[in-house]
Chains A and B, each alone.
Chain A
């Protein structure tokens, strides 16, 4: 995906800084979901590579991680910041995963679904790359929250700018089944695919149509801004790298 930021270096630094805020919660999520040593993981919208590196820690030297990211510059950044030999970054489309092989033990993604035009389609494409019984793990956020309480004037203005810009760019800003509105198609689709419990509770069975055997989830710590207008890499969530 394309990134919003005009200043690439600043955006790269933002992604790395964001990872320091969000990584602990993502790591807990991956652990709770069952990411384990030896697994082979596909990370959607790998951005700066933060989630891929977290996954690599959990799968260990006998596992492997493949990060897929549309932005070649983000792929280059991720490679530059990754020394683990079992992590690979590829230029590819997280929406279609065209050209990505199957047989992964797990798919991960952080702050990526809100940037995709067809979230259900993306989840189906991801699930098709996972072996039977494998995992699909997503970490997403809600952009509609209040940034401060009480909200000072400049914060209100900045928030309004970002939300309006996101809406005009077609980026969904809300999480959960209440987010069924045209600009939130990505999040609405995520809510449909991941469950109907409201985005802050446990995710229920739904939409993938793949015979899920186990679902889980819930709120995670919320600190810092949603990052990628695209990624796990903090994947990280702008034109948005994710992850």
Chain B
């Protein structure tokens, strides 16, 4: 959970500029410097199960 929380938090934090540019949220609101640790605290407090994204692999011959 810790790794996933921190990784997810870092990812969102690093995307803070993307989030801010189209007016989704301000950098102040996202607070990227502390987001990862806040996400972890949030997860621990709730006892939630952290989930990774479904991925699919496919191939073909041409």
Contacts and interface: CB of A to CB of B under 8 A. Distances in A.
A117 B51 CA distance: 28
A214 to B, nearest CB: 5
B58 A215 contact: yes
A180 B39 CA distance: 32
A165 B17 CA distance: 10
B57 A218 contact: yes
Given A10-B10, A10-B14, A222-B54, A194 B60 contact: yes
B7 to A, nearest CB: 6
B54 A238 contact: no
Contacts of B49: 148-149
Interface residues of A, number: 79
A220 B54 CA distance: 7
Interface in A45-82: none
B51 to A, nearest CB: 6
A148 B50 contact: yes
Given A6-B16, A10-B14, A141-B55, A161 B25 contact: yes
A25 interface: yes
Contacts of B25: 161
Interface in B1-53: 4, 7-12, 14-19, 21-22, 24-25, 30, 35, 38-39, 42-43, 45-46, 48-53
A200 B62 contact: no
B7 A137 contact: no
A7 B33 CA distance: 12
B44 to A, nearest CB: 9
A207 to B, nearest CB: 10
A77 B16 CA distance: 22
A178 to B, nearest CB: 13
Interface of A: 4-7, 10-11, 14, 17-18, 21-22, 25-26, 29, 32-34, 127, 130, 132-143, 145-155, 158, 161-162, 164-165, 168-169, 175, 194-195, 199-200, 202-203, 205, 208, 210-227, 229, 238-239
